[in-house]
Structures are given as structure tokens and as C-alpha cells.
Amino acid sequence: QVQMVESGGGLVEAGGSLRLSCTASGLTALDYVMRWFRQAPGKEREGVACISWKSGIASYADSVKGRFTISRDNAENTLYLQMNSLQPEDTAMYYCAADPFLGAFSAEYCAGSFAYWGRGTQVTVSS
């Protein structure tokens, strides 16, 4: 069974940076689509970045493009989200999620449902 544990959240001033980590265990499928989501109080959950575990092909929401970078270390079974130029509107609980797939990676997978989720790590950006 896949388990995912996020870490790296915290309090940072506007303009600062954080790097979130998501350690995954139990990865046995040929490939996974992995995504970082965030949810602020009273707002809908938003997918911010997505990556193919095998190929590293990534995509981003417009709200974070150019500021956030998703990456993975296959050897360490760890997913990362480097967040730069953070703004108060980035304040949210951040979650990592994974879902297995077969064949060539498609950005459509990023919009699908995810079977495995972490419990989240809080990011707070002060103005």
C-alpha cells in the first residue's frame, strides 16, 4: 500500500521560499502521476503542480507557474515542491497525492482522481 508523508511547511515572510517534501513508500506500479494540491480555509482544493514519477514531465497551475518547481528523487522515493517568491495568497494546507497509470504520460492524468494522499503540511505566508 502506498503511503505518503509531507514535511517542510512552516511560516515564512512574503517573498521568501520553502521546500516541501513528500516521502512515498510502497511504490510498486510502473509509473505514477504525482501532484501537489493546496487548500486554504473556505476555498476549494487547487492542484498546483503535477509530475510523472518515471519521466519527470511536469505541469503547473497558472497561479504558481514561474515560482514553484516540482521535482522528484526516485532513489529516495521523495517528491519535492520548491516554492519561491511566496505570497500571502499561497497560505494553505499542502498535500501530495499519487495515482498509478500505464503507458505514456499525459497531462490529462493530472486532472483525474488520486488514490493515495498524504495528511498535509501547513504553509503560512505573512505579509
pLDDT, position 105:
85
* CA distances from residue 89 to 7, 27, 33, 43, 79 in whole angstroms, order as listed: 20, 33, 26, 11, 23
* Nearest Cα to Cα of residue 46 among 67, 31, 60: 60
Mean pLDDT of 35-44: 96
Confidence of residue 106 (pLDDT cuts 50, 70, 90): confident
Using the predicted structure, report yes or no on whether residue 29 has a pLDDT greater than 90: no
Confidence of residue 34 (pLDDT cuts 50, 70, 90): very high
CA distance 48 to 83: 11
Confidence of residue 103 (pLDDT cuts 50, 70, 90): confident
